[in-house]
Structure 1
Amino acid sequence: MGIDVNPTVSRRRLGSELRRLREISGMTTQQVAERLLISQPKISLLENGRRVVKPRDVRDLCGLYGVQDQRRVEHLMQLAGESGQQGWWNSYGDIPYGAYIGLEAEAAAIRLYEPLVVPGLLQTPAYARAVIAGTIPLITPEKAAARLQVRLRRQDRLRTPGNPLRLWVVLDESVLRRVVGSREVMREQLDHLTHLSAQPHITVQVLPHDVGAHPGVSGQFSLLEFAEAGDVSVVYLERFTSDLYLEKRSDVRLYRDMYAHLQAQALSPDDTRYLVNEVIGAYADPG
């Protein structure tokens, strides 16, 4: 697989184009399914980028939709071939959030709200190791090590030369106060957080406890945005057994508004660094 091939993104782009071609043809997913003798849910999964598309399927669909431009057909078949390849994360075994990693790798900007722990992109190895051990009961040492390696490799996206990920993070104050691993691990982690937050492409804000109820009380969420005009934004909701990906414009708009409210209620980046340094001092105090 070429280093620039991202199967998750290839599936999304291909699915979006296949949906557009179907809509231009005036056909419903049910009509397409009947004509090609396949199930209607398969068509929906293909168009939503949730299923690997075979080049033969693309050829049949383009024929049904009356696509005459052979270069377009070949391009779509190339995307189909890429969609079936493996992402770098697959070499680490069964990583359940592989689809998210693919989106994260392609995103131009991510807005994160996290109420419980420091987000994976900003974790130190020691903190990440403690989070993995504490949140995944009975995980084997081998799987824990694989999770840790994947998490640390994901952080390369923040260091992409000339094009690092633009990251906004809002943390609940509880993230600073919850002792993950040990007081020393927390001190190191918060030092790392202040260092990263000083970089121009990373903004960190803390939502203090005295804010009270706020739009993030329902839990963690991420809003991923992409540079390509055809790549729609995605809201990612992490859950223990099955994650959710929301792409409807109304859903994305709602979460974008929620995030704007969280940023407005949170401490400024400068005040956040002041608070984080206060907490670091408390962890360094043996008393």
Structure 2
Amino acid sequence: MSDHQHPAQPDPADAIRGLHADDQRHQGRAATEETGPITAERLTAVEACAVSIRAWNASIIPGPLQLTRYAAAAIRTRVPTLEDGEVMRRAHARAARVDSFLRRWASLDHVGQAMFFVGEQALRQPLANDRAHGAQLRYLANLAESNPRIDIRIVLEGRLTPGRSGQFALYGLRGAGLSRLGYLESVIGGWYTVRAADVARLHSAFETMAEAALSPDDSRTFMTEVSTAWG
């Protein structure tokens, strides 16, 4: 036997188990096309219960604000291997979510507020053709001006805080019990949490983002100005 002992090789399974939090309550992976109804349909139900929404996306217009042509381009960007028919099926499912959202938040009986923070990149880099992208930006500016309950704020590239490059949302839900829900989207799918510590971190992130974003008026002006470059 050699006098030189080689260190034991780490066990990948042990390494993975080491990442597993002891407490897995009140959080989990959101349903996907592979595991159940697609996320857009699940989020429609969440939004129907919401009295407040805070949402952030650095590079794409948030789902509830998307026109159908833009939604199709966003879906294709995310999953390039999808066939055209499946892309449109998902885009129409998202359109139904948008319709539900707008009907509720335009209602005089609804007293909540939806605040969307959008990264400058989402405005500057089109996913669809120039005409569709221009239409999407003009729609955003008009929506923000016509509905006081929908607040759309632009976060310029130079004001983007570290660690805010993805997309996430925080929903305030009506009723007792688990009153706030956090939702995060990643390259491998969506994740939700109602854990108090997680929700507090998301709330803090949005407070910081509100300080960095343009004002509502300046955001509308910015959206209108950028839209002129896209037909």
The TM tier, using the shorter chain, reads: 0.7 to 0.9
Q: Is the 8 A contact 2:52 2:172 kept in 1?
A: yes
Q: TM-score, normalised by structure 1?
A: 0.63
| Structure 2 gap ranges (5+) | 1-22
C-alpha separation in 1, matches of 2:210 and 2:45: 26
Q: Does 1:158 align with 2:158?
A: no
C-alpha separation in 2, matches of 1:280 and 1:231: 40
Q: Deviations over 1:242-282 (max 9, x none)?
A: 32112111111111011011011110010111111111122
Deviation at residue 194 of structure 1 after TM alignment: 0.6
CA distance 1:248–1:48, shift in 2 (3 Å) = closer
Deviation at residue 192 of structure 1 after TM alignment: 0.5
Deviation at residue 211 of structure 1 after TM alignment: 1.6
Q: Is the 8 A contact 1:110 1:166 kept in 2?
A: yes
Q: Which residue in 2 is equivalent to 1:272? A: 219
Aligned ranges for residues 120-199 of structure 1 at < 5 Å? Answer: 120-155=63-98, 156-160=100-104, 161=107, 162-163=109-110, 166-198=113-145, 199=147
Q: Which residue in 1 is equivalent to 2:155? A: 207
CA distance 1:234–1:278, shift in 2 (3 Å) = same
Which structure has more relative contact order (CA 8 Å, sep 6+)? It is: 2
Q: Which residue in 2 is equivalent to 1:34? A: none
CA distance 1:214–1:239, shift in 2 (3 Å) = closer
| Structure 1 gap ranges (5+) | 1-43, 51-89
C-alpha separation in 2, matches of 1:49 and 1:210: 33
Q: Deviations over 1:182-219 (max 9, x none)?
A: 111111000100111111110011111222534523x2
Aligned ranges for residues 71-82 of structure 1 at < 5 Å? Answer: none
Deviation at residue 134 of structure 1 after TM alignment: 2.1
Q: Which residue in 2 is equivalent to 1:116? A: 59
Which stretches of structure 1, 4 residues or more, deviate above 6 A after TM superposition? none
C-alpha separation in 2, matches of 1:215 and 1:205: 18
Alpha carbon RMSD of aligned pairs, Å?
2.5
Q: Is the 8 A contact 1:234 1:247 kept in 2?
A: yes
Deviates more, 1:95-104 or 1:234-243: 95-104
CA distance 1:140–1:122, shift in 2 (3 Å) = same
Aligned-pair identity (%): 25
Q: Does 1:100 align with 2:51?
A: no
C-alpha separation in 2, matches of 1:159 and 1:212: 32
CA distance 1:242–1:183, shift in 2 (3 Å) = closer
Query: Aligned with 1:108: secondary structure?
Result: strand
Q: Does 1:241 align with 2:185?
A: no
Amino acid at match of 1:163: H
Q: Which of structures 1 and 2 has the bigger CA Rg?
A: 1
CA distance 1:94–1:141, shift in 2 (3 Å) = farther
CA distance 1:117–1:212, shift in 2 (3 Å) = closer
Deviation at residue 109 of structure 1 after TM alignment: 1.4
Q: Which residue in 2 is equivalent to 1:37? A: none
Q: Is the 8 A contact 1:215 1:261 kept in 2?
A: no
Q: Which residue in 2 is equivalent to 1:256? A: 203
Q: Which structure has greater helix proportion? A: 1
CA distance 1:239–1:101, shift in 2 (3 Å) = farther
